[in-house]
DNA sequence: CCAATAGTGTCTATCAGACATTATCTA
DNA sequence: TAGATAATGTCTGATAGACACTATTGG
């Protein structure tokens, strides 16, 4: 049989496959803490519980999995986050009551101010402090997924400046250091922190400053592709 | 409607979902080079081309995706590799001629000698030198997947001794250094290489030695959980 | 002036790179 | 003894940690 004939007679629906979805752990930095975007589920299963923004692939509109991820995140935040990276894929027979299911998970970062303002007023979508997730009733295995995402981001904080994507376009070095400290879970030496970023030439110094009761801090922007730079030696 | 009722009436086949498969890039070290296990495809599509060992999730027998991965690898090699790690998931509308498809990919490592001997005699399964993949006609997007796996393993060689899983249980330090050199793509200082492994206390020195025309090299085994140790500073 | 926050100077410790030297095997 | 391969000694350079110091704002 030729391939052409095979493809003509091939029927995708003839084989039962697991449920396949996409979920994102979207982090931001706001009011000195790390927050995760959660959505209150409007439908069964786990209706009423909080879950990650995500959903099913639409084979008509989405050309790649990343299209699905961006579409779902844009629905909730109004914009496509500047940092999106695949985290892991989880699949087993029991994570979803409907049966065998697989979810492709992503980590995303966004500046809090860049999200559509009504997020805080629409009750179904909320930023939750990543240290208060214990108080939230989470759907499926989303608590584990968030934990894995946070751990991965902690690693990135040790050898990259990826966490900068959770800040506004212009930010200060103390701000960036603080989000790294939150992720790593310990205080860092400001000298060490500044030195490595300076030596790697990752940021562009603007001529603006911002004061918070003391000496004003210089505002910086990320240089192109600084997000993919990795230091050869870790912090912490 | 209660969740119970919802689940009773839920019909998974009502929604079309992408084709979902699992693929593994299984590496080993043999005759001074890095090899990848490839399987000649017996069925359409891409019949006759070479592809990664993998297949579909069997919802009856597999409880998790890792079950599928292990089952498929055992079918080809006779054993379950000592190192299996999720690599990435790729999914889009065009990678498979049958339509929208998603593959969850894994990297695995195994000692060459531990594979079933008949691998080299059965024509449909073959170890291919990872530097000669250009000469092979590969199915789907498997060339890209192998490339991603190799790149990830290169990173691991910089900050871990994960590549040791591609060696037999007992191995010499020059052997381990050589597979790291293959992966990193440059010669390493043996002093540096030995020092870091010694200081991290990752290996157990056996009282056996192996000679290759010069001073015999000491044989080592990995200590428990050495595979998950990460150095704070990279080689290379 | 003081309090607060930003940013620097400089010493130390750690660890990878370089490369010469020594050790132990076979022919 | 020569050649080959394994293993060590030791110096250098890069970079993170520690911590004291200076700088710049507001009150």
Tens digit of each residue's pLDDT, chain A (236 residues):
777 777 777 776 677 899 999 999 999 999 999 999 999 999 999 999 999 999 999 999 999 999 999 999 999 999 999 999 999 999 999 999 999 999 999 999 999 998 886 666 566 999 999 999 999 999 999 999 999 999 999 999 999 999 999 999 999 999 999 999 999 999 999 999 999 999 999 999 999 999 998 999 999 999 999 999 999 999 99
Please enumerate in sequence order all residues whose Cβ is within 8 A of that of A15, keeping only pairs 6 or more positions apart, or say none: B56
Q: Would you say the C-beta of B233 is within 7 Å of strand C?
A: yes
Distance CA A213, CA B235 (A): 44
Q: Would you say the C-beta of A187 is within 7 Å of strand C?
A: no
Average pLDDT value for chain A: 94
Interface test with A, best of B62, B89, B157, B234 (most A CBs within 10 A): B89
Residue contact A64–B13, C-beta within 8 A: no
User: Which of the 154-183 residues on chain B come under 7 Å of nucleic strand D at their beta carbon?
Assistant: 172-174
pLDDT of residue A120: 62
Burial degree of B73 (CB within 10 A; 0-12, 13-18, 19+): buried
Distance CA A183, CA A157 (A): 7
- A75 phi and psi angles, rounded to 5 deg: -60, -35
Contact residues of B toward A, CB < 8 A:
1, 3, 6-7, 10, 12-13, 15-20, 44-47, 56-57, 59, 62-65, 86, 88-94, 97-100, 102, 104, 232-234
pLDDT in tens, A121-177: 566 999 999 999 999 999 999 999 999 999 999 999 999 999 999 999 999 999 999
pLDDT of residue B206: 98
pLDDT of residue B32: 96
Q: Which residues of A touch B65 (CB under 8 A)?
A: 89-92, 102
pLDDT of residue B116: 80
Q: Which residue has the tokens 């979508």?
A: A125
Q: Which residue is nearest to nucleotide D23 (CA to C1')?
A: A215
Q: Would you say the C-beta of A196 is within 7 Å of strand D?
A: yes
Task: Return the bridge partners of B210, or none.
Answer: B217
pLDDT of residue A11: 75
Topology (CATH) of A16-156 = Nucleoside Triphosphate Pyrophosphohydrolase (3.90.79)
Please enumerate in sequence order all residues whose Cβ is within 8 A of that of B213, keeping only pairs 6 or more positions apart, or say none: none
| Separation between the CA of A173 and the C1’ of D27 (whole angstroms) | 25
pTM for the full model? 0.96
Interface test with A, best of B64, B87, B139, B235 (most A CBs within 10 A): B64
User: Which of the 135-194 residues on chain A come under 7 Å of nucleic strand D at their beta carbon?
Assistant: 188-193
Residues of chain B with CATH 3.90.79.10: 16-156
Residue contact B90–A18, C-beta within 8 A: no
Return the DSSP state at A63: S
Q: Would you say the C-beta of A231 is within 7 Å of strand D?
A: yes
Distance CA A19, CA A90 (A): 12
pLDDT tens for each residue of chain B, 236 residues long: 677 777 677 776 667 899 999 999 999 999 999 999 999 999 999 999 999 999 999 999 999 999 999 999 999 999 999 999 999 999 999 999 999 999 999 999 999 998 886 666 666 999 999 999 999 999 999 999 999 999 999 999 999 999 999 999 999 999 999 999 999 999 999 999 999 999 999 999 999 999 999 999 999 999 999 999 999 999 99
Architecture of domain B160-228 in this structure: Orthogonal Bundle (1.10)
Searching chain B, which residue's CA lies closest to the CA of residue A57? B17
pLDDT of residue A119: 65
Region for B209 from its dihedrals, namely left if φ exceeds 0, alpha if ψ lies in -120 to 50, beta otherwise = beta
- B163 phi and psi angles, rounded to 5 deg: -55, -15
Q: Would you say the C-beta of B199 is within 7 Å of strand C?
A: yes
Residues of chain B with CATH 1.10.10.10: 160-228
pLDDT of residue A32: 96
Q: Give the residue from A141, A100, A18 showing the smallest Cα distance to B15.
A: A18
């Amino acid at each position: 049989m030729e391939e052409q004939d095979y493809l003509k007679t091939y029927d995708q629906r003839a084989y039962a496959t697991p449920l396949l979805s996409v979920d994102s752990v979207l982090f931001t930095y706001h009011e000195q803490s790390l927050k995760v975007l959660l959505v209150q589920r409007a439908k069964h299963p786990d209706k009423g519980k909080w879950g990650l923004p995500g959903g099913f692939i639409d084979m008509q509109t989405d050309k790649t999995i990343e299209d699905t991820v961006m579409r779902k995140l844009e629905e909730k935040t109004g914009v496509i986050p500047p940092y999106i990276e695949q985290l892991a894929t989880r699949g087993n027979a029991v994570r979803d009551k409907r049966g065998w299911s697989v979810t492709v998970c992503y980590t995303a970062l966004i500046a809090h101010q860049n999200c559509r303002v009504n997020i805080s007023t629409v009750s179904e979508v909320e930023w939750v402090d990543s240290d208060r997730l214990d108080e939230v009733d989470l759907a499926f295995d989303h608590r584990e997924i968030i934990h894995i995402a946070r751990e991965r981001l902690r690693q990135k904080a040790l050898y990259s400046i990826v966490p900068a994507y959770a800040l506004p376009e212009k930010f200060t070095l103390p701000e960036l250091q603080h989000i790294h400290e939150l992720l790593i879970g310990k205080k860092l030496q400001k000298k060490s922190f500044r030195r490595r970023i300076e030596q790697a030439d990752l940021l562009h110094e603007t001529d603006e400053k911002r004061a918070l009761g003391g000496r004003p801090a210089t505002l910086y922007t990320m240089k192109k592709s600084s997000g993919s730079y990795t230091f050869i030696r870790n912090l912490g």
